[in-house]
Structure 1
Amino acid sequence: MPAPASAATPLRVLRAVVFAVVAFTLGGLAHVVAGGVVPFDSAVTAFAVCFVPACLLAGRERSPFEIVVMLTAAQAALHLLFSATDVIAEAAGHAEHPHIGLVPGFGMLLMHGWAIALTGLWIARGEALLWSLLRWLSVRLRIVQVLVAAPVACEPAHAPFRQPVLLRSVLLANELCRRGPPAIARPHAV
């Protein structure tokens, strides 16, 4: 597994929101299907119970085992919260939940276990996809950054012009060169 990368704050919040929505929806729907009620104030508290720890732990890529452990803790906290809400509602005479009490039965534990395993697998695959996409984008953006930051091609710098060195042998160094057309004779002024 590659070295864990760090998540920026917007990505951390987005990942925590996704985790909280999945965990809250799973727990809340299961509770309602079992015959319980989820009042608005309990729903807000339940979402916060899922979101705050997820936001704190969303700073790096998590393994499937870590995700399942976090989901198990979230489901246990939600079960206790929703069961406490039902106990309070039952005491007030407003609800009749067939599973009143804080300790879940075997069937409820089995259903929570299946939900945690399937949801954990789903979130783990989403995490792996997200991080591989971010790594892929990071490499692509780095290539673009290098290409954009490359120096612009300009004309090569020219060396200052120097007269070419005439090579003469030492023997002919004092000789005059008289090649060329004959000089025009000028009449002398009288």
Structure 2
Amino acid sequence: MPSSLSFRLLRTAAFAVVCLGLGMVAHVFAGGSVRGPAMVAGFFVAAGGAYLSAGRERGPRAILTLLGGLQLVLHLLFSLSHAGSPAESVAHAAHPSSGLVPELGMLVAHGWAVALTALWLARGEAALWGLLRRLAARLVAVLLPVPATPFLSLPYAEPPVLRSAILRHAVTGRGPPAVIGNR
């Protein structure tokens, strides 16, 4: 079911904040820093990517793909924002230890962080849409007239009377011992 513009923008902003927060925390933990203009640009990059897929409910695969791609773009944006001039940017990008090409440990850490965050976002997405579906069903049930039925009437037939079954393997001598006599 397609969403309205305000709901779509709200979901876009929430995804962009989580995506940007993950990218900034990972970049700072790796020893980098995030400048203000790069942070603002990163928010708009993340929001632009999220807005494209915020029209409908997203599944875990779509969220993982989007979050992983945006984390790569944010990594490049934050790494390139450290250089001042275009010549410094080219030199920074060409240097092998520039941080643009991450090492294996960083890739594994980013992969786990992206996977866990995507799982968290997918669970939240499913919970949100499930809640909206239940609310819509309740609203329809309240607003649409239903035929009048007596309070205690059942819309289905009575269940059959349960009969006791004799068990084949039942022990019949069970229970406390009988009192034989008073002593």
Does the TM-score normalized on the shorter chain lie above 0.5? yes
Out of 103, 114, 117, the position equivalent to 1:116 is: 114
- Single out whichever of 77-86 and 127-136 deviates more from structure 2: 77-86
Corresponding position of 1:55 = 51
- Equivalent residue pairs, number: 137
CA separation in 2, counterparts of 1:134 and 1:79? 35
CA separation in 1, counterparts of 2:116 and 2:134? 27
CA separation in 2, counterparts of 1:23 and 1:37? 17
Q: Which has the larger radius of gyration?
A: 1
Out of 64, 73, 80, the position equivalent to 2:76 is: 80
Q: For residues 13-63 of structure 1, what are the alpha-carbon distances to aligned partners after superposition, in whole Å with 9 as ceiling and x for unaligned?
A: 111111111110000011112111111100000000100121121011111
Corresponding position of 2:3 = 7
> Structure 1 residue runs of 4+, over 3 Å off?
none
Q: For residues 133-166 of structure 1, what are the alpha-carbon distances to aligned partners after superposition, in whole Å with 9 as ceiling and x for unaligned?
A: 000011111122224xx8xxxxxxxxxxxxxxxx
Aligned letter for 2:119?
L
Aligned letter for 2:128?
L
- Taking structure 2 as the reference length, the TM-score comes to 0.70
Per-residue deviation at 1:100? Answer: 2.3
Corresponding position of 2:12 = 16
Q: Secondary structure at the match of 2:101?
A: coil
CA separation in 2, counterparts of 1:86 and 1:36? 9
Among the aligned pairs, what percent are the same residue?
A: 48
Unaligned runs of 5+ in 2: 90-96, 147-183
Per-residue deviation at 1:69? Answer: 0.2
Per-residue deviation at 1:110? Answer: 0.9
- Taking structure 1 as the reference length, the TM-score comes to 0.68
Q: Secondary structure at the match of 2:38?
A: helix
